[in-house]
Chain A
Amino acid sequence: MNINEIKKQFPIFEKKIKGKQLVYLDSANSSQKPKPVIDSLNQFYLYEFANVGRGIYQLAANASDKYEKSRENLKSFFNTTKDYEIIFTKNSTESLNLVASCFGEKFLKEGDEVISTELEHHANYVPWHFLRKRKKIQIKFIPIDDNGNLQIDKLKDLITNKTKMIAVTHMSNVTGTVVNLKKIKEIADKHKIPICVDGTQGAAHLDVSIKDLDCDFYAFSGHKMYGPTGIGGLIIKYKWLEAFDPFLGGGGMIEFVSKEDVGYAKGVWKFEAGTMPTAEVISLNESIHFINKIGKKNIIKHEEDLKNFAIDELKKNNSIKFVALPDDQGSVFSFNIQDIHSHDVSTIFDQEGVAVRGGHHCCQILHDRLGINSSIRVSLGVYNDKEDIHILCNAIKKCQSIFKK
């Protein structure tokens, strides 16, 4: 795996930031895009554009064909089985809102319980909070330990006969904690509780086999997988697809419409109302192709090695306080430089061409649990290398020299 060659496929790295090379360490926020992905958007809009599922002319037929091919390739990518479908959505957030809204509307009543975790991104908490307000359900949290490990053994004590859903992340976007979903599944199965997985980070940075995870829902965002913004998906067990009422109403999701009644389309179409981000769906297929060409396992190995290298390098600096270092950690970690606020650090890093995120990373519950207001997050992608980490370490020293720490 030649990182230089890979990096060359990302035009953004040709750009200088304040005269310096871009050190992009914010892939957990959104990944950069390789040229084939960008080209595919252009190609579609320039020469192939038509709306899908409507016209019967050649262009429309071809566009529909490509759109569905993307769905099929995603199923292979995530190793789904015939029990699953993939609904295209705007992103993970919309996918998780779809689950909470459709599931909550039909299957939850006052006093029911949803179990979440202290690791969750707001996207897998706020939609459930809506139900707490609307339906007076309760939300419980699987706690973490001080190292950011999810204490799954405590799940048993949280489950009651009112527990109707477990909403859990596959990988924390702050601590990088990889959640042992199989262990959760074993416990959930005993009580027949469905599992809704926030796969936003997992889809891009972990080896995901839906067949093995056997979860009911798995949400992902295309833009974190080297794909375009505005497109994501929900991998959903077919039985839920049938059981749920539609999320949004409009064109495309109907079977018939009369003054008295409306019949809904079957399958995924029931959930894809209105004109979808067609070019983005097709371009997402190109990003899957990009990942497959390098090999997901190769990418994971590269990110794992680089993350370990980065943590070892940062540990040499006594002023670095890691937010948490869990036992099983993906390619994300967060830290603070002693007595320097994360936003000051981010600003100084920016002067050095280093792009990181400072703040609570949409995980206020997690930051509160760990007793900090904010942190600096480093998240890696396929294009990062050891030189990026050296520049990061120098940028940390620059912060310390400005603040004389």
Chain B
Amino acid sequence: MDLYQEIILQHSKFPKNFKKLGDYNFCSEGYNPLCGDKITIYVSEKEKKVKDVSFEGSGCAISIASASILSEILKEKSLDKSKNIYDSFLNLINHNQSNFSDLTEKETSMLNAFSEISKFPMRTKCATLSWSTFNAALKNIKNFNTESLK
């Protein structure tokens, strides 16, 4: 089954940056009431740049792997760049269009591991939960709910 790429399985079993940052200035708790997944994102931002990012929470393999990969990729990126990656990631998840630019090959392949998700419409929110929560954190929104977008 192509959905569960090796990268996704690895990140779900051994998530990176799975902790609360000691020094963060933005944080938000994302929640998907339909499945109960809960991800809290911590961001340390300085001079319009993501100095560090981490997460805590519980969820399925897709949502945990997505949060782990987010934390790997957005670290040290400018806020503008983060926004571009977020938009491109949503495009990948919802329309299976991969148009990442200015990323390393490793980063691109981590994100492209989610390309199959578009074939599973019931699971797209698993992949986007942490990203939407990251976005909410930077807007100072303390709680993000996937179903309040409707």
A interface residue numbers (CB < 8 A to B): 340-344, 347-348, 351, 358-360, 364, 373-374, 402-404
The 8 A CB mask of B24-61 against A (1 = contact, 0 = none) is: 00000000001111000000000000000000001111
How far is the CB of A80 from the nearest CB of chain B, in Å? 37
The 8 A CB mask of B57-85 against A (1 = contact, 0 = none) is: 01111100000000000000000000000
Q: A343-B123, A403-B4 are in contact. Are A373 and B9 (CB under 8 A)?
A: no
A359 CA / B37 CA spacing, docked (Å): 10
Pairwise interchain contact B36-A374, C-beta atoms closer than 8 A: yes
How far is the CB of B126 from the nearest CB of chain A, in Å? 7
Contact residues in B for A347 (Cβ distance below 8 Å): 3, 120, 122-123
Question: Can you list 17 A-B contacts with CB-CB less than 8 angstroms, sorted by A residue number?
Answer: A340-B61, A341-B61, A343-B37, A343-B62, A343-B126, A344-B4, A344-B60, A347-B120, A347-B122, A347-B123, A348-B4, A359-B34, A359-B35, A359-B36, A364-B36, A402-B9, A403-B9
Pairwise interchain contact B60-A343, C-beta atoms closer than 8 A: yes
A76 CA / B37 CA spacing, docked (Å): 45
Pairwise interchain contact A402-B35, C-beta atoms closer than 8 A: no
Pairwise interchain contact B60-A341, C-beta atoms closer than 8 A: yes
B1 on the A face (CB < 8 A): yes
A360 CA / B36 CA spacing, docked (Å): 8
Other-chain contact of B58, A340, A364, A373, A403 (Cβ < 8 Å): A373
Q: Which residue of A lies closest to B61 (CB)?
A: A344
How far is the CB of A323 from the nearest CB of chain B, in Å? 14
Q: Which residue of B lies closest to A345 (CB)?
A: B60
Q: Which residue of B lies closest to A401 (CB)?
A: B1
Q: Which residue of A lies closest to B122 (CB)?
A: A347
Pairwise interchain contact B1-A348, C-beta atoms closer than 8 A: yes
Q: Which 6 A-B pairs have the closest CB atoms?
A: A341-B60, A343-B60, A344-B61, A373-B36, A344-B60, A402-B4
Contact residues in B for A342 (Cβ distance below 8 Å): 60
Other-chain contact of A341, B9, B59, B120 (Cβ < 8 Å): B59
Q: What is the size, in residues, of chain B's interface with A at 8 Å between Cβ atoms?
A: 17
How far is the CB of A369 from the nearest CB of chain B, in Å? 15
A342 CA / B59 CA spacing, docked (Å): 9
Contact residues in A for B123 (Cβ distance below 8 Å): 343, 347
Contact residues in B for A341 (Cβ distance below 8 Å): 59-61
Contact residues in B for A344 (Cβ distance below 8 Å): 4, 60-62
Contact residues in A for B59 (Cβ distance below 8 Å): 341
Q: Which of A341, A348, A358, A404 neighbours the largest number of chain B CB atoms within 10 Å of its CB? A: A341
Contact residues in B for A404 (Cβ distance below 8 Å): 9
Contact residues in A for B58 (Cβ distance below 8 Å): 373
Contact residues in A for B9 (Cβ distance below 8 Å): 402-404
How far is the CB of B121 from the nearest CB of chain A, in Å? 11
The 8 A CB mask of B1-26 against A (1 = contact, 0 = none) is: 10110000100000000000000000
Pairwise interchain contact B61-A403, C-beta atoms closer than 8 A: yes
Contact residues in B for A403 (Cβ distance below 8 Å): 4, 9, 61
A344 CA / B3 CA spacing, docked (Å): 10
A30 CA / B102 CA spacing, docked (Å): 49
Contacts A360-B36, A403-B9, A404-B9 known; list 12 others, CB within 8 Å: A342-B60, A344-B60, A344-B61, A347-B123, A348-B1, A359-B34, A359-B35, A373-B36, A373-B58, A374-B35, A402-B4, A402-B9
Contact residues in A for B4 (Cβ distance below 8 Å): 344, 348, 402-403
A364 CA / B31 CA spacing, docked (Å): 14
How far is the CB of A350 from the nearest CB of chain B, in Å? 9
A358 CA / B60 CA spacing, docked (Å): 11
How far is the CB of B18 from the nearest CB of chain A, in Å? 15
A364 CA / B38 CA spacing, docked (Å): 14
A343 CA / B60 CA spacing, docked (Å): 6
A195 CA / B122 CA spacing, docked (Å): 39
Q: Which of B90-125 contact A (CB under 8 A)?
A: 120, 122-123
A373 CA / B9 CA spacing, docked (Å): 20
How far is the CB of B119 from the nearest CB of chain A, in Å? 11
Contact residues in A for B3 (Cβ distance below 8 Å): 347
Q: Which residue of A lies closest to B34 (CB)?
A: A359
A382 CA / B81 CA spacing, docked (Å): 56
A398 CA / B60 CA spacing, docked (Å): 17
A360 CA / B33 CA spacing, docked (Å): 10
Q: Which residue of B lies closest to A341 (CB)?
A: B60
Contact residues in A for B61 (Cβ distance below 8 Å): 340-341, 344, 403
Pairwise interchain contact A343-B120, C-beta atoms closer than 8 A: no
Q: Which of B4, B34, B35 neighbours the largest number of chain A CB atoms within 10 Å of its CB? A: B35
How far is the CB of B3 from the nearest CB of chain A, in Å? 7
A245 CA / B106 CA spacing, docked (Å): 67
How far is the CB of B34 from the nearest CB of chain A, in Å? 7
Pairwise interchain contact A351-B1, C-beta atoms closer than 8 A: yes
How far is the CB of B68 from the nearest CB of chain A, in Å? 14
